[in-house]
Amino acid sequence: MKLLCIIFIVQCTIFLASIVGKSSLQPPPFMQKVAMARYVVHQTNWSVISTISKPFDGIPFGNVESFSDGPIGNSSGIPYFYLSPFDFALKDIVQHPQVTATMTLSQTGYCFSKHYDPEDPRCARVTVMGNLVKVTKAKELQFSQHALFSRHPAMKSWPKGHHFAIYKINITAVVALDFFGGADIIPAATYFAAKP
C-alpha cells in the first residue's frame, strides 16, 4: 500500500504539473544553474519573504506569501505578489525595502520523488534579492494581475476592504543552489537572459 501510494503520488504529481505548471516536472540539468533558477521561480507559487521586521524590533522575519512570475508557460522571472497593508511584509518595507524571497523544489513533488532531503543541495532552491515595490505601470499591472489571478484564482474574491495591491521584487541578484559545491550568485541581467 505504501509503495503504491508513493508511485501514485509521483505519477499524479507529474500529471498535475503538466496542467498547473510547465509541461513537465523535469527540471533543467544542474549544469544550467541559471535556467534552474528561472525554473524554480516559475514552478513554485508561494515563497517566504524575509524582511527586517518593524513590529519585532529589527529581527529578520519570514512571511509566507503567494506569488506568480507569469501565467503557465510565460515566465517573466519577476515574482509578483498580492499584498494587503495589513501584511507584516508591507509594514516592514517602509523602513527597509530590501527583501529576499526564497523558493525550493521541496514545494513541488520533485525532491520527494528523487528521495532528496530538503537540505540536499540537489533539491534546488533559490533566493531572490531586491526591493519590494508596488507595481504601478498599466502594462505591467495587466500582465502581473493575469500572472497572479491565473495561478491563484481565489485572489479574485479576496476582500476589497483589505486593499490588496500588486507588488514585485526589483531583482538585483539571485542566489541559487542546485548541486554539491555551494551556491552561485547570479546577476540580474544573467538571470533574465535565461530561459526557464
Q: Can you read off the three cell numbers belonging to residue 165?
A: 495591491
Among 36, 127, 135, 178, binds its own copies (CB under 8 A): 127
Q: Determine if 113 is a binding residue for its own copies (CB under 8 A).
A: no
Q: Determine if 80 is a binding residue for its own copies (CB under 8 A).
A: no
**Binding segment toward its own copies, per CB under 8 A, in 4-12, 25-33, 71-79, 186-194:** 4-12
**Binding segment toward its own copies, per CB under 8 A, in 14-22, 24-32, 134-142, 187-195:** 14-22
- Decide: 79 and 128 in contact? Cβ < 8 Å: yes
**Binding segment toward its own copies, per CB under 8 A, in 30-38, 72-80, 116-124, 135-143:** 116-124
Tally of CB atoms within 10 A around 65: 19
Among 43, 68, 76, 104, binds its own copies (CB under 8 A): 104
- Decide: 151 and 72 in contact? Cβ < 8 Å: yes
Q: Can you read off the three cell numbers belonging to residue 26?
A: 523535469
CA distance 32 to 127: 17
Q: Determine if 37 is a binding residue for its own copies (CB under 8 A).
A: no
Task: Give residue for cell 503520488.
Answer: 9
**Binding segment toward its own copies, per CB under 8 A, in 24-32, 68-76, 150-158, 188-196:** 150-158
CA distance 133 to 112: 34
Q: Determine if 170 is a binding residue for its own copies (CB under 8 A).
A: no
CA torsion 72→77→78→84, rounded to 10°? 40
Q: Determine if 56 is a binding residue for its own copies (CB under 8 A).
A: yes
Q: Determine if 65 is a binding residue for its own copies (CB under 8 A).
A: yes
Q: Where are the beta strands (DSSP E) in 135-164?
A: none
Contacts of 196 (CB under 8 A, 6+ apart): 22, 35, 38, 39, 41, 42, 75, 77
Among 22, 30, 91, 107, binds its own copies (CB under 8 A): 107
Binding site for its own copies (CB under 8 A): 1-2, 5-6, 8-9, 11-13, 15-16, 19, 45-52, 56, 59-66, 82, 86, 88, 96, 98-102, 104, 106-107, 115-120, 123, 125, 127, 129, 152, 154-155, 182-183
